[in-house]
A and B are shown apart, each in its own frame.
Chain A
Amino acid sequence: MMRYFFTRLAGAIPTLFVIVTLTFFLMRAAPGGPFDTEQSLPPEIMANLQKAYGLDQPVWTQYGRYLKSLSRGDFGPSFKYKDFSVTELIGQGFPITLKLGVIAMALALLLGIPLGVFAALHHNSAADSATMALAVVGIAIPSFVVLPFLGLLFGVYLHWLPVAGWEPGSIRHLALPVIALALPPLAYIARLTRGSMLEILRSHYIRTAFAKGLPLRTVILRHALRPALTPVASYLVPAVASIMTGSLVVESIAGLPGIGRYLVQGAINRDYTLVLGMVIIYSTLLIGMGLVVDLLYAWLDPRVRPVK
């Protein structure tokens, strides 16, 4: 099993490499540069700036230097936020974004799966319909609508939770953003689990489990749950992508100092190194998630495991 994991890991590294390379060259190849958006600078100053950031070198040299600095963990200086290196910016913001994302994902799984199981067990009842109705709402309405609405309700009118802002270590400030972020994947997971569970419950081996006299709880938890979770495992990578996408908006609305805003701002400001750094971080996360999911498949279904 370990060998399988390392094979997959080895395959992931070239993918990452390709992404970094493509990103780098595409950006350099684009018309315009990071200093064009400001008022036109006198040519000498422009030349000096280019030199300072190493932009006057041939592209390949720049690429080489970038890879070297990457291997040291240095993402280079930010072109826009002149006093900071990208590494510093990431270091400040990433923990917050990570916290936000992890809690949201955990919430989506911890609430979504039981909800789906519940709906499946009460198939065709009012509870089932209600749950599925809520799921459609969660899936359809985007987080940049949900969060402000929640903020209005719980923040402005009820004064229970802060609408925006951030204090280190605060939970209250994370509450609404996490809920808004978790809602779409939660709803999707609930739906997937319900559908999958309904199908599994019709299987012959579930009938055998009941025939053995096992109580409902045991049948569900020991016999039905694991196979039912396979579609959820397949959904994990898109779920992470969805949370990453959502965090861009959520951080912006809630004023959370995560890395999401850097991506958007970096795009608008043409801040090469910043965007490059962001792309690397996000790609690594997704690829990492893909590896985790592969391992998860093997655990969920022994038939998938490589033969001893």
Chain B
Amino acid sequence: MDATLSIDELRISFAHRGGTIEAVDGVSLRIAPSECVGIVGESGSGKTQLFLGVMGLLAANAELRGRIRFEGNEMVDTAARNRVRGSRLTMIFQDPLTSLTPHLTIGTQLAEVLVHHMGLPWSEARSGAGRMLERVRVPEPQRRLTQYPHELSGGMRQRVMLAMALLCEPSLVIADEPTTALDVTIQAQIIELLRAVRGEFGMALALISHDLAVVAGLADRILVMYAGRIVENAAALDLFRNPRHPYTAELLKCSPSLSGPRFARLPTLKGLPPRPGEKLEGCAFAPRCPRAADRCRVESPALEGTRSSQVACHFPLTA
């Protein structure tokens, strides 16, 4: 079956003070229908820019090269993209307070999606909005429709954002750090909601996060990004049990475990990730890699492997 989202050798760079900054440096990936893919990486790894590029929401000084296909259609064609954006291909963002228009009611912000994409009259659109709020488990949905974003709690706002993304039965929802701005307890609720929604709607989900724990509960497959590239691509369980890239291994070590020793020192990754735009010789992770050898500092490793498991490393970890 055709992949829902198919990206080939995508490069995104920004013009800046006479030079360019590479945010995404040759990324290829496939998301199958109904698949949940987790994209993990530090800030600056390019994970958000990658999907902003897919949606066509990059800043004006950005340059995008490569191929993006959504449900078989080339997305570089603006008309094709506009047809699906907001309806079959949707995105929800990190901070629901600043991501919702402060002077419009929730009802208006939801209904306008249906009005624009489905051609519904406003009254019907509002009813549709109310029904969607029920499906995302927002209490008192009718009351919410007349309220403004600042009158809702953080968790409810995120549910509203999710509702906005689901209104037109999308094939792919991109969720960019959906839980980062929320309290831990609310985080769990939202993750639970995402799981339920996936079951009900059956859409594909691209879940972006810097937090492996968030991704662990939902993803079928996980992509690890570093310095604008994918460094590992594996099924979720495999990744956790047998990480192949040293960076992935270090990331896993950094997540504290409830069952571990109580007063042990929390392991950290020494050093810093490269700044966006910093040009590097060889593997970008080499400066921080405990396994780095001379070859790593000179030659940049390509992403290689089977369909189900790929890694970009000269000396990947073995099981």
Contacts and interface: CB of A to CB of B under 8 A. Distances in A.
A–B contact via C-beta, under 8 angstroms:
yes
Contacts of A222: 104, 112
A303 B85 CA distance: 30
A205 B85 contact: no
Contacts of A207: 57, 93, 99
A227 B98 contact: no
A51 interface: no
A227 B103 contact: yes
Interface string B160-185: 01001000000000000000000000
Nearest to A211: B91
Interface string B273-314: 000000000000000000000000000000000000000000
B73 interface: no
B116 interface: yes
Contacts of B113: 212-213
Nearest to B110: A212
Nearest to A203: B98
B289 to A, nearest CB: 35
A204 interface: yes
Nearest to A214: B116
B317 to A, nearest CB: 38
Interface string A274-305: 00000000000000000000000000111100
Contacts of B85: 210-213
Given A213-B113, A214-B112, A218-B112, A204 B98 contact: yes
Interface string A193-235: 0000000000111011111111100100011001100000000
A211 B100 contact: no
A208 B99 contact: yes
A208 B103 contact: no
Interface size class of A (residues with CB under 8 A): 20 to 34
Chain B interface size range: 20 to 34
Contacts of B189: none
Contacts of A223: 101, 104
Interface of A is mostly: helix
Contacts of B84: 213
Contacts of B148: 302-303
A223 B87 CA distance: 19
B112 A211 contact: no
Given A205-B98, A223-B101, A226-B103, A213 B93 contact: no
A264 B3 CA distance: 79
Contacts of B161: 208
Contacts of B55: 211
B116 A218 contact: yes
Nearest to B164: A212
B95 A204 contact: yes
B102 A303 contact: yes
A208 B102 contact: no
A210 to B, nearest CB: 6
A228 B292 CA distance: 52
B162 to A, nearest CB: 12
A214 B113 CA distance: 8
B178 to A, nearest CB: 13
B101 A210 contact: no
A227 B104 CA distance: 11
A302 B98 contact: no
A212 to B, nearest CB: 4
B82 A205 contact: no
A302 B152 CA distance: 13
Chain A CB within 10 A, most for which of B103, B148, B150: B103
B57 A211 contact: yes
B81 to A, nearest CB: 9
B48 to A, nearest CB: 11
B135 interface: no
Contacts of B102: 205, 227, 301-303
A209 B82 contact: no
Interface in A28-86: none
B290 to A, nearest CB: 38
A262 to B, nearest CB: 43
Interface of B: 55, 57, 82, 84-87, 90-91, 93, 95, 98-104, 112-113, 116-117, 148, 150, 161, 164
Given A208-B93, A302-B148, A303-B148, 15 more contacts: A204-B95, A205-B100, A205-B102, A208-B100, A208-B164, A210-B57, A211-B57, A211-B85, A212-B86, A212-B164, A213-B116, A213-B117, A214-B112, A300-B103, A303-B102
Q: Which 10 A-B pairs have the closest CB atoms?
A: A213-B86, A212-B86, A204-B98, A213-B85, A204-B99, A205-B101, A208-B99, A302-B148, A211-B91, A223-B101
22 contacts: A203-B98, A204-B93, A205-B101, A205-B102, A207-B57, A207-B93, A208-B101, A210-B85, A211-B85, A211-B91, A211-B93, A212-B86, A214-B116, A218-B112, A222-B104, A223-B104, A227-B102, A300-B103, A301-B102, A302-B103, A302-B150, A303-B148
Interface of A: 203-205, 207-215, 218, 222-223, 226-227, 300-303
